[in-house]
Amino acid sequence: MTKFFHKKNRPNQEPARIQTTLKDIERAVHEFELNLPKQVKRTVLVDKNNRIDATKLAPYLGGIPTEEYYMSTQTYEIFQEQDRLIPHYLDIVQAAVDDYVDDNNKLPLMPGCVEGRVHYDLLMQQYYLKEKPPFPLFITDDEYMLTHHI
C-alpha cells in the first residue's frame, strides 16, 4: 500500500530534452493543431516574442527540444533560433500591408521591383509601419502573404 501511495504523489517527471529539426517542429505543430477545437488557432503555442512553447509540443515530439523555435502569428512560418527576428518582422509588416491594402486597394510594392518587394518607406511615411525591417520581405500571390525569400 505504501508503494502505491508514493507513486501517486511523486511529482511528474520532466520530459526528456531532445534534438529536433525544423521539420520535426513543423510536423508537431501540425499535429497539435489537429487536436485543437476548430475556433482555436495554432498561435496559442506562441508567446509575445514569437517563441514556441515547446512544452505543449512535447507529447508530439517525445520530449522538449534543446533548441528554441519561433513562429509568425500572421504567416505561421516556423524558424530556428538564428532566424528568430524574421517572425517578428513578418508579423508587423504583414499587419501593415493588410491595413494599407484595405485603405488603398493596392499593394505597397517597391517601384520597378518585379519580385514583389514590400515598400517599407511608403508604409512608414503613411504611418502603417513604425519599425523598418533590416532585410527585405516580399508579397506572395498566396492571399498576399509575406515571405522573407523570393
pTM score: 0.85
Percent of the chain with pLDDT over 70: 92
Indicate the residue type of 149.
H
Percent of the chain with pLDDT over 90: 83
Domain map of the chain by residue range? 2-83, 85-147
- Contacting residues for 53 by C-beta, under 8 A, at least 6 apart: 45, 46, 47
pLDDT digits (tens, 9 = 90+) for 15-61: 899 999 999 999 999 999 999 999 999 999 999 999 999 999 999 99
CA–CA dist 2, 89 (Å, integer): 56
